[in-house]
Structure 1
Amino acid sequence: MNLSYWELKNWFTNVDYTIVGSGIVGLHCGLQLRERFPESKILILEKGLLPQGASTKNAGFACFGSLSEIIDDLKTHSEEEVVALIQKRWQGLQLLRKNLGDAAIDFKPFGGYELFLKEDDSTYVECLQKLPFINELLKPLFRNDVFTKEVDRFAFQGINDYVVFNPFEAQIDTGNMMEALLRKAVAQNILILNQATVTAYHENKDGVQVTLTDFSFGTKKLFFATNGFAGKLTNNQVKPARAQVLITDPIPYLDIKGTFHLDKGYYYFRNIDDRILLGGGRNLDFEGETTTEFGQTELIQQRLEWLLQHVILPGKEYTIAHRWSGIMGLGASKNPIVEPLSEHVYCGVRLGGMGVAIGSLIGKELADLV
């Protein structure tokens, strides 16, 4: 790499803390390190032009789990684990709001709704039966019932009569959130370099030698905040999971407000700028969507369009404006991995599709490992 003396001196000399990944976790890690070590030199490396993964590509749900998702989690996790995970997500959301302010992230407490397709009666019946039990389970956290049964007032089609409402759920503007986070990091004298891909690292007794594509430098501590892209360099049990999304053009007189879940959280939609944003469908092809490649597939896009036409906006005219995808980090457990990999290397990954909720808290915990 053709670096000048000035570039070497200002960016790559006497680096105390290097963070890989400039998403929600990486930026919060940097901010917490700055608070703990005011005089330190902090460098964040990002392989994309903008934060890769899911931080700038998610749907902007300030949520902590739909009723069917929580019931599903209880089949593979203990009650204590599920409650602890929901508590962590809830605390993370409050930390995000405290750090950035509701105005900066366009926080709108419209509440969240879970819909049940008529073809999925078994999940519908199970959720209504277990709703009181889940409310009791979560009452120590929220002091009130989280979930209530309501009649659908949005004129959706092909769903069962009742929806499940959660007043604690909200929506945010993902772009505003990440822009505010980036501004805050820069204001705290945290250096952020984009299109800088870490290919390897080598630990020695004093720190870590970090290798980029054609250049290496030394840092005292190294943090991985790469979530779905973490597997290769951290050797952690993190699997990438692609999420495909589409958004409509503005729709006149759109009356839908809130965040909406379908099919155990595998589908989700919301209003934004008089548009409908809809994503999901990974459950149609788990193997194919276990990838770090961005893109769309005909199978999933057709299902999203079917839901839009027949369930969400029946009889309405609309056009699809844009499509994209993001990469989440999942695993056998929904518990995040926040741990030292060695004396000078740490990671905070596997956010389980809940990065908006727990990303800020995981970033703080990652920095506090030092």
Structure 2
Amino acid sequence: MDLSYWELKNWFTDVDYTIVGSGIVGLHAALRLRERFPKSKILVLEKGMLPQGASTKNAGFACFGSLSEIIDDLKSHSEEEVIHLVQKRWQGLQLLRKRLGDDAIDFKPYGGYELFLKEDESSYNQCVGKLPFINEILRPLFRADVFAKEVDRFGFGGIQEYLVFNPFEAQIDTGNMMQALLKEAVSKNILILNQQTVTSYFDKGNKVEVALGDFSFSTQKILFATNGFANTLTNDAVKPARAQVLITEPIRNLDIKGTFHLDRGYYYFRNIGDRILLGGGRNLDIETENTTEFGQTEIVQKKLEQLLKEVILPNQDFQIAHRWSGIMGIGNSKNPIVSRLSDNVYCGVRLGGMGVAIGSLIGTELADLV
């Protein structure tokens, strides 16, 4: 870097807090630090042109877990842990809405639905059977039943008679949300630099030396909010998980409104106006999809197109307008990692594919560790 005196003075001198990652977690951490330390110098470094992982690439679901996903989580987590996870996701969504406002994020409370394919009869029967129990354990949190059976009124193909409806789910506009967060951060005098990759860091006890390629600077504290890219930070407790997504061209007379789940959350779709956004399928080839590389694969894209054709839009013509991917952070546990790695180094990662819901809370908790 060939930096001027002014650039060094304004951006890289007397830095109190450096946050790596300008997604939902990173910006909430920065905003919380600003509340706690009004006069501090806060610098956010982002390796992408835009937030690189999933913050601007997700499907815009304001959700906290479908019925089959919650039942599946109970196989590997205690009942208490699962309730706590749902609670944190729900709190995170309220925090996001409160900070930015429903208009700014285009919050649409259409409710969420889960559908079950004809061949998924055992999963369907299990979910319908356990529905009263899940409602019972979640009732203290929502003060109402979360899940209810509803007859399919959308004309889906090849599915079981009943959908499971959740009135607490909503849609948001992911792009609007991130723009609103970035504006909020800039208005609070938080410095954000894009296309800056932290190549190494060294905690010297009284400060941290941070290297950006062949240039380095000092900061009092460094906070990592790099989620899907955090495996080296956490000794492989976080694995990257690529999510592939597509969106259709506008569809005439589209009568689908809401957020929809299929197969324990491995597939998800929604309307965006009169288009359908559909994502998922990493369970078809977990090993290939545990990657930090962006891109699409034939096996996943074919399955997504098949679901569109046979299940979601069985009697309608459609065309794919665009495809993309995002990188999530997952692990053996769905509990996020918010921890202090050394005297002046912290991380808030492993959002388990629930970044929209839990990201604001994890960012706040990360800043509160300092």
Shorter chain as normaliser: what TM range?
Answer: over 0.9
Equivalent residues in 2 for 1:211-222, closer than 5 Å? 211-222=211-222
Q: CA deviation at 1:234?
A: 4.4
- 1:1-370 alignment, distance < 5 Å: 1-235=1-235, 237-370=237-370
In the alignment, the residues of structure 1 paired with residue 283 and residue 123 of structure 2 have an alpha-carbon distance, to the nearest angstrom, of 15
1:153 counterpart SS class: coil
The alignment partner of 1:90 has SS state of: helix
> Aligned partners of 2:351 and 2:331: how far apart in 1?
9
Task: State the shift of 1:236 in Å.
Answer: 5.0
Q: 1:103 deviation in Å?
A: 0.2
| C-alpha distance after superposition, 1:269-318 (max 9, x if no partner) | 00002100000001000000000000000000000000000000012111
How far off is 1:233 after superposition?
Answer: 3.8
How far residue 183 of structure 1 moved from its aligned partner, in angstroms, is 0.3
- Secondary structure of the 2:59 match is coil
State the one-letter code of the partner of 1:18.
T
**Amino acid of the residue matched to residue 117 of structure 1?**
L
Q: Is the 8 A contact 1:200 1:233 kept in 2?
A: no
1:51 alignment partner, SS class: coil
- Counterpart Cα distance in 2 of 1:247 and 1:276: 6
Q: Secondary structure at the match of 1:31?
A: helix
SS of the residue aligned with 1:217?
strand
Indicate the SS of the match to 2:9: helix
CA–CA separation in structure 2 for the residues paired with 1:152 and 1:36: 49
* TM-score, normalised by the number of residues in structure 1: 0.99
The CA deviation at 1:235 is 3.2
Aligned-residue sequence identity (percent) comes to: 78
Question: What amino acid sits opposite 1:146 in the alignment?
Answer: V
In structure 2, runs of 5+ residues without a counterpart are: none
Cα distance in 1, alignment partners of residues 293 and 199 from structure 2: 17
Quick one: which amino acid aligns to residue 281 of structure 1? G
Displacement of 1:214 after TM fit? 2.0
Q: Distance in 2 between matches of 1:265 and 1:69?
A: 6
Alpha-carbon separation, structure 2, partners of 1:121 and 1:214: 58
TM-score (norm 2): 0.99
Unpaired runs of 5+ in structure 1?
none
Residue type at the aligned position of 1:309 = K
